[in-house]
Amino acid sequence: MENQEVSPEFKGMVFTAMNKAFEDVGNKVEGPSKFEAVSEVQGNNVNPQGTVPVQTGVQNLLITLLLQLAKQLGLKEDELEKVFDEVLKLIHTYKNKKGEA
């Protein structure tokens, strides 16, 4: 396979999108929402103390980060929904293989 160089423009676009996505998700961590939409769709159960397990929080964080990055790279709302659905399928497949579902 031939080694193909990625253009500096593309590298810059991806770098900028990643920085913006990390910043946006960081702001959500600090804000009041705490990934409510992701948590709700995953069916996460909040315990009586109002917190979610660390594993669930990390999943929510990664899903939110991935969607924010996809948005920064120009995916439209319907495309983001498809990405979200595929990520959830991957998580459920992984959990089923590990016997966690």
User: Is position 72 within any domain?
Assistant: yes
User: Is position 66 within any domain?
Assistant: yes
Contact 14, 73 (CB under 8 A): yes
**What confidence tens digit (pLDDT) does each residue in 55-100 have?**
777 777 888 888 889 988 899 989 988 988 888 888 888 888 877 6
User: Is position 89 within any domain?
Assistant: yes
User: Is position 3 within any domain?
Assistant: no
Instruction: Report which DSSP code applies to 53.
Output: -
User: Is position 84 within any domain?
Assistant: yes
pTM tops 0.85, yes or no: no
The mean pLDDT value of the chain amounts to 77
Structure tokens that stand for 54 in this block: 């660390």
User: Is position 92 within any domain?
Assistant: yes
Question: How many domains are contained in the chain?
Answer: 1
> What is the domain extent for residue 57?
8-98
- C-alpha dist (Å) from residue 76 to 42, 62, 80: 21, 19, 6
